[in-house]
Amino acid sequence: MLALRGSWLDALGGTLAAIGALLAAFAASYYWGHHVGRLVAHPDSEQLLLRVLGITLLVAALAESLHASAAVGAFLVGLTLTGETADRARKVLGPLRDLFAAIFFLAIGLSVSPKELLPMLPVAVVLAAVTAATKVLTGMYAARRDGVARRGQLRAGTALIARGEFSLIIIGLVGVSIPTVAALATSYVFIMAIVGPVVARYTGGPLRAAA
């Protein structure tokens, strides 16, 4: 019981620390984001790239030392940078982003065995159905608030079905330690990636011209 209680306390403490870090990042971005941008800003693109990568590695290492994810630390750095510095950073980081994205997907493929996907398909189908419905309703609600017609509302809702990048991030973070989660998330992403474009094409497609 003590061991179980300790694990729950550790989980609660880690959750509160993560929420606190996220709130601190939002506050820093809102109140001091321009100061951070001024700190890393430089006319030379290479200097800007090195400074952004340097501060990202420092914050990621700090997050790891606090038993949080290094990915969360890097995300908080990106959240803090605003304005012109953020625009220039996006441009200079573009090639590295594409390279590391390919490596990220390669690592996901290496971490999941195909034979583990089939047992997870029934649960993945249920999750896909539930989340697809909520995505469609969310997109339709947002489009309706902007005065979009019914067909446009359907297109906005169905366009969200195929979006599953966050599930891939979950695979990258916990796939090695919890193989079942990786298999479930991978099956879910495959289903949404296949069904999403088809539903968007035939549900919210353009109206045919009148004869």
CA dist 181 and 163 (Å) reads 18
* DSSP secondary structure code for residue 46 in this structure: H
Indicate the average pLDDT of the chain.
76
**What does the alpha-carbon distance between residue 8 and residue 5 come to, in Å, rounded to a whole number?**
5
Q: How confident is the model at residue 7 (pLDDT cuts 50, 70, 90)?
A: low
Q: What is the distance between the alpha carbons of residues 176 and 171, in angstroms, rounded to a whole number? A: 8
127: Cβ contacts below 8 Å, ≥ 6 apart: 184, 188
The pLDDT value given to residue 6: 47
C-alpha 167/C-alpha 150 separation (Å) is 30
Spans of all domains in the chain: 8-110, 112-203
Q: What is the mean pLDDT of residues 143-161?
A: 85
pLDDT band for position 166 (cuts 50, 70, 90): low
Contacts with 6 (C-beta within 8 Å, 6 or more apart), sequence order: none
Whether the per-residue pLDDT at 115 is higher than 60: the answer is: yes
CA distance 82 to 66: 25
Average pLDDT of 160-183? 64
